[in-house]
Structure 1
Amino acid sequence: MRILSSMFVAFLFVSCLNDKNTPLADQPVVVDTTTIPPIPSTPAANCSADTVYFQQSVLPLITSNCAMSGCHDAISKKDGVILTDYTNIIREVKVSNPTSSDLYKCLNETGEDRMPPAPAAEFSLTQKALVLKWIQQGAKNNSCSNTANCDTVNVTYSATVAPVLKTYCVGCHSAASPSAGIDLSTYAVVKVQAANGRLVGSITHAVGYKPMPSATSKLGSCEINQIQAWITKGMLNN
């Protein structure tokens, strides 16, 4: 019995050493899944103003600002973190304590720890609040369709087009990181890309154009129709 007891103690000691010496990247990821539902089969019929939808708001915001090459895409996976889809993003979320989620904390860090890092612009207070609200609502992999209530008549650059581009595209196409040399955070450049057909060709994933957003599925039909309506109306800076 004494021999068996000694062997058991030795085993525990070695196990603890192995745990301490195991690199963080090799440790199993523990995900708080207490309230996380499976991927929805169909989107909600209508978008609720009180709900933050992952597919429409959070995913494009994260992928366009964080999942670029050299950062948190599937190839670069900086620090072992991938932020290209729900399965990977939810690993950085703690539903039981939203403000302690790595995803949210990184947005509020300063210096080299801030995400996205300089020279990229940091998330606005509104964007940070959006991510936090999504986590507080259960960090669901939810989606909605607002086609029935899509306003393609009262479209303007400032209230319709610019917000869509800021959510889905500006992370890669800004003055700090102008992918392909295109800065879609300015009206002048957006108008040029709209006039030459490249904007619509990209957001509709038309043949011969680079699909945009490239890391996610294409824009919803409402957003596409609104941008096309703005172009048809003369691409005004309104």
Structure 2
Amino acid sequence: MKKLVFFTALCIVALSSCVHDPFPPDPETVCEQGGVDFVNEIQPLLTANCGMSGCHGQGSAQDGFSVESYASIREEVEPFELNEGDLWELINESDPNDRMPPPPASALTADQKDLIKRWIMEGAQETDCGRTGCNYVAVPNYNTDIVAIADKYCGGTCHAGGSPSGGFTLTSKADWENAIDNRGLIDALTGSNGRKQMPPSGQLDSCIINNIIRWNTTGRN
């Protein structure tokens, strides 16, 4: 009888100390419920802001962290637990010298952080929801990737002709370089640093924005 009581007590202690993490939903279910798209939202966002050569991409993995694959990113997050993973801590560091990305790069915007937060709290799945017509391009080319964006969203509508919006055109490679260097184009596209959102019809898909950012940071070819 004593052995039975002891065994029962031992089981109760063991069960009370066992805490199970929430079971991650199936990636397809996440997509069906309108969840965050890792392939078309999270991966491009991290690649554009952290995946430069010498940092966390293009063959480099500073501090052992690379944003070039889901597996490597997944190592830095804890599903459903924001404060248990290094990624969330690094993008929210109050000390500019410790945050990711580091200066002179701008910190992630509140919307970008919220997207990462949602992804983590949905289970940090490798979701590929296919909701965007934009294809992720590691090293975009002006003629094959940027021109189409310009014609559809910018240069072919507002920033063209003799009286372009904002006083600048986006109809050539030189125009884009000038707009990025002198007109705050990247900030306008992301709606950050006090810039008025561009285009005025609504923010571009994050995949498109990040392709533009990658074009700017990978040589503007």
1:83 is paired with a residue whose SS is coil
Pairwise mapping of residues 60-75 of structure 1 onto structure 2 (< 5 A)? 60-73=44-57, 75=59
Q: Which residue of 2 aligns with 1:26?
A: none
- RMSD between superposed Cα atoms in Å: 3.3
Q: Which residue of 1 is the match for residue 212 of structure 2?
A: 169
Give the residue type in structure 1 aligned to 2:86.
D
Q: 1:119 to 1:107 in 2, by over 3 A?
A: same
Please name the residue that 1:78 is paired with: 62
The amino acid of 2:218's aligned partner reads S
In structure 2, what is the equivalent of residue 135 of structure 1? 120
CA distance in 2, matches of 1:96, 1:162: 25
**Cα separation, partners in 2 of 1:47 and 1:35, compared to 1, 3 Å:** closer
Corresponding residue to 2:74 among 78, 90, 110? 90
Provide the residue aligned with 2:36 in structure 1. 52
2: distance between equivalents of 1:72 and 1:122?
15
Q: Using the alignment, how far apart are the partners of 2:84 and 2:130 within structure 1?
A: 31
TM-score, normalization by structure 2: 0.52
**Structure 1: tracts of 5 or more residues without a match:** 1-32, 149-154, 183-209, 211-238
Question: TM-score, normalization: structure 1?
Answer: 0.48
Q: Distance in 2 between matches of 1:164 and 1:61?
A: 8
**2:97 is the counterpart of 1:106:** no
Determine the C-alpha separation between the residues in 1 that align with 2:55 and 2:23: 29
Give unmatched runs, 5+ long, in structure 2: 1-20, 134-151, 155-198
The one-letter code matched in structure 1 to 2:45 is L
- Distance apart, 1:145 and its partner CA: 2.3
Query: Structure 2 vs 1, CA of residues 34 and 77 (structure 1 numbering), >3 Å: closer, same or farther?
Result: farther
The total of aligned residue pairs comes to 137
Q: Retained in 1: the 8 A contact 2:58–2:68?
A: yes
2:36 alignment partner, SS class: coil
Deviations 1:60-90 (A, max 9, x none): 1011111211001263211111121100000
Q: What's the % identity of the aligned pairs?
A: 31
Q: Name the amino acid aligned to 2:110.
A: L
